[in-house]
Amino acid sequence: MDATTQKPLKLLLLGGTSEATRLAKALAQMPGVAAVLSLAGRTSKAAPSPVPVRVGGFGGVDGLAHYLVQNGVDIVIDATHPFAAQISNNAIAACTKAKVPLLAIERPPWQRTDRDIWIEHATVEDAIAALPDAPSTVFSALGRSAIPLLCAKPQHRYVIRVVDPSAPPAELPEAVIISARGPFRTEDDIALFREYRIARVLAKNSGGDAAYSKIAAARALQLPVHIVKRPDIAKRHTVTTSDEALSWIAHHHATRTKRGV
Ligand code: NAP
């Protein structure tokens, strides 16, 4: 069988990140690769995709394994967010079950510099609980799912940046919700923090460039950052960038073509 008659390499790309968007663009141009981007459907307006998109959960490990077999998926690329531990652990188990190779893109976490004032926490709940009792203005980049958790410390005025617009909860009438999608710029975040007189920052250690501006802005203004550490994900084969993932896919594809699969 030559490369022109060979079946396309069917690839499932678990997304919801800028890496997945970048990878989808490159995969759309790769001959012989049929990629499908999978999104959880958490945001109302997904970024445009050059490859077909499926939306919604698979129904746990068994559901994902079933999807892989039913759709004849050849490889899975996990390009989900480092805090999306459930889907990443599910992907490991489902790929093992369905005997499908898995590669994950794992961006390195941000590292504290000498000028950062970081207080590290194991969970989002711990980070919120550690806010001081005296009222202050707090910038939250913990995501939409953390908004109800902020009610545990209702004395603060929160400035919350999320992708989708929403109203603040009744318990936090003074909260300001800023709806915006990264990448953000450090100078803009410095201006934002000054405008709202932000006293401290809540953030996840997401890593990557697109969301680093708040960390750099907090450093520039010498604000404390309550930063949540990465959740645990089981052992898997990883790379750190979408370019490395692309090389891995190209290599996998070439090996398969050579074998005439
Ligand atoms: P999660 O806790 O790891 O996953 C919860 C469930 O959502 C999964 O078990 C799965 O449902 C479904 N799911 C998650 N990602 C999916 C995907 N790409 N395609 C299909 N189903 C998916 O995930 P999360 O933290 O809620 O994040 C959801 C999505 O938002 C992810 O795609 C992630 O990349 C993106 N995101 C997350 C964060 C964050 O801070 N957590 C930040 C930015 C973007 P089933 O078990 O039914 O399959």
From the alpha carbon of 142, which atom of ligand 1 is closest?
A: 40
Q: Ligand 1 within 6 A of 205 CB? A: no
Q: With beta carbons less than 8 A apart as the criterion, state whether 238 and 103 touch.
A: yes
pLDDT at 4: 52
- Give the model confidence (pLDDT) of 92-150 as tens digits: 999 999 999 999 999 999 999 999 999 999 999 999 999 999 999 999 999 999 999 99
Q: What is the DSSP letter of 56?
A: S
Are 203 and 216 in contact, with CB atoms under 8 Å apart? no
Of 11, 80, 232, the residue with max ligand 1 atoms within 8 A of its CB, to mutate for a pocket test, comes to 80
Alpha-carbon distance of 195 to 25, in angstroms, equals 37
CA of 87 to the centre of ligand 1 (A): 6
pLDDT at residue 132, rounded to an integer: 97
Length of the chain measured in residues:
261
CA 191–ligand 1 middle distance (angstroms): 32
pLDDT digits (tens, 9 = 90+) for 194-205: 999 999 999 999
Query: What pLDDT sits at residue 1?
Result: 44
Separation of 217 CA from ligand 1 center, angstroms?
28
The pLDDT of residue 5? 56
Residues 6+ apart with CB under 8 A from 64: 58, 90, 91, 94
Q: Is this model's pTM higher than 0.75 or not?
A: yes
Is residue 174 within 8 Å of residue 197, measured between CB atoms? no
Atom of ligand 1 lying closest to residue 143 CA: 40
Determine phi and psi for 11, rounding to 5 degrees: -125, 130
Please tell me the distance from the alpha carbon of residue 11 to that of residue 38, in angstroms, as a whole number.
Answer: 10
Ligand 1 pocket mutation pick from 39, 44, 86 by most atoms within 8 angstroms of CB: 86
Ligand 1 center–CA 189 separation, angstroms? 27
C-alpha angle 62/67/68, rounded to 5°?
100
* Residue 236, C-beta contacts closer than 8 angstroms, at least 6 positions apart: 78, 88, 91, 92, 102, 103, 104
Q: How many CB atoms are located within 10 Å of the residue 192 CB? A: 19
Residue closest by Cα to atom 9 of ligand 1 = 87
DSSP assignment of 143-168: -GGGHHHHTTSTTSEEEEEESS--PP
**Residue among 141, 213, 210 nearest 177 (CA):** 141
Ligand 1 pocket, mutate which of 76, 78, 87, 123 (most atoms under 8 A from CB): 87
User: Is residue 59 within 6 Å of ligand 1 at its C-beta?
Assistant: yes
87 lines ligand 1 (CB under 6 A): yes
Identify the three-state secondary structure at position 2: coil
pLDDT at 259 > cutoff 80: no
DSSP one-letter code for 223 = -
**What's the rounded mean pLDDT across residues 7-28?**
95
* pLDDT value of residue 173: 87
Closest CA to 17 of 77, 100, 71: 77
85 CA closest ligand 1 atom index: 3
